[in-house]
Amino acid sequence: MSAEPKPNWSELMASAQSGDGAAYACLLAEVLPWLRALARHALRDETEDAVQDILLTLHAARHTYDPDRPFKPWLAAIARARIADRQRGQVRRFRRETMLDQTHETFAAEPANMFMDAEALAHAVAGLPAGQRQALELLKLKEMTLQEAAAQTGLTITALKVATHRAIAALRRKLAP
């Protein structure tokens, strides 16, 4: 049995421009795996969101496609632009937001908030390297935000988070029973 010929994307798009819904659905179903692969390759997450952005832009821009030209470069340009938008959004969110990690969480349950020997804790904090001690004091004792502490110390937010994480790990090791 001979294999069914692969649908011609240019012809399907030309039909879709005329309002053929079946051809349009067939075309979009055909390109979907390729778009997902492109998005997955460029983005760690939000892949499906990026694919839907591309589909919506394809829909809004379908009047610009020239059936005498190949379809794939036209769609690839739209895909690149939407993926680049998502990447820029991810960078902006990373800069603006503070991701929660284990050291930022606390629990209401009594056993989680163990009684600490204040003198032992103060001695352990004093024994930390200067950078770790400063990060701990600003973020945990003075309860500054990361942005405020970064502005005061001149360190990056990432450096402060790393210093805080190391300081707490070091205190755990020193104060472990």
Partner 1 sequence: MSEALIAGLARDIRPVRRLRPAWQRAGGGLLLALAAAAALAVWHGPRPNLADALASPGFIWRLAGAAFTAVFGALAAAQLSVPGRSPLWLAAPMAGICVWVAGIGHGCASAWVVLLPGMLAPEEAASCLLTVVLTGLVAIAAMTVMLRRGAPQRLVPASLAAGLAAAGCAGATLTLLHPIDASAMVLAWNIGAMLLLVGVELLVGTRLLRLRAAGAPR
Choose, by CB under 8 A, the member of 62, 133, 165, 166 that binds partner 1.
62
**What is d(CA 102, CA 126) in angstroms, rounded to the nearest whole number?**
23
Choose, by CB under 8 A, the member of 12, 24, 139, 164 that binds partner 1.
24
**What is d(CA 91, CA 105) in angstroms, rounded to the nearest whole number?**
24
Tell the smallest beta-carbon distance from residue 4 to partner 1 (Å). Answer: 20
Choose, by CB under 8 A, the member of 7, 11, 37, 66 that binds partner 1.
66
**Token pair 């103060």 in the structure block, residue:** 122
Q: Report in angstroms the alpha-carbon separations of 52 from 40, 45, 46, 82, 135.
A: 13, 13, 10, 9, 42
By beta-carbon proximity to partner 1, the closer residue of 24 and 128 is 24
Question: Could you tell me if 160 and 139 are in contact, meaning their C-beta atoms sit under 8 angstroms apart?
Answer: yes
Length of the chain equals 177
Q: How many CB atoms lie within 10 A of CB 70?
A: 12
Task: Provide the H-helix boundaries in 97-156.
Answer: 118-126, 130-136, 146-153
Q: How many CB atoms lie within 10 A of CB 100?
A: 8
| Binding piece for partner 1, criterion CB under 8 A, among 1-9, 77-85, 134-142, 169-177 | 77-85
Tell the smallest beta-carbon distance from residue 54 to partner 1 (Å). Answer: 9
Tell the smallest beta-carbon distance from residue 171 to partner 1 (Å). Answer: 46
Q: Is 64 in the site for partner 1 (CB under 8 A)?
A: yes
Choose, by CB under 8 A, the member of 7, 37, 45, 59 that binds partner 1.
59
| Binding piece for partner 1, criterion CB under 8 A, among 11-19, 86-94, 112-120, 135-143 | 11-19
Q: Is 52 in the site for partner 1 (CB under 8 A)?
A: yes
Give contact residues for partner 1 (rule: CB under 8 A).
Answer: 16-22, 24-25, 28-29, 32, 36, 48, 51-52, 55-57, 59-66, 69, 73-78, 80-81
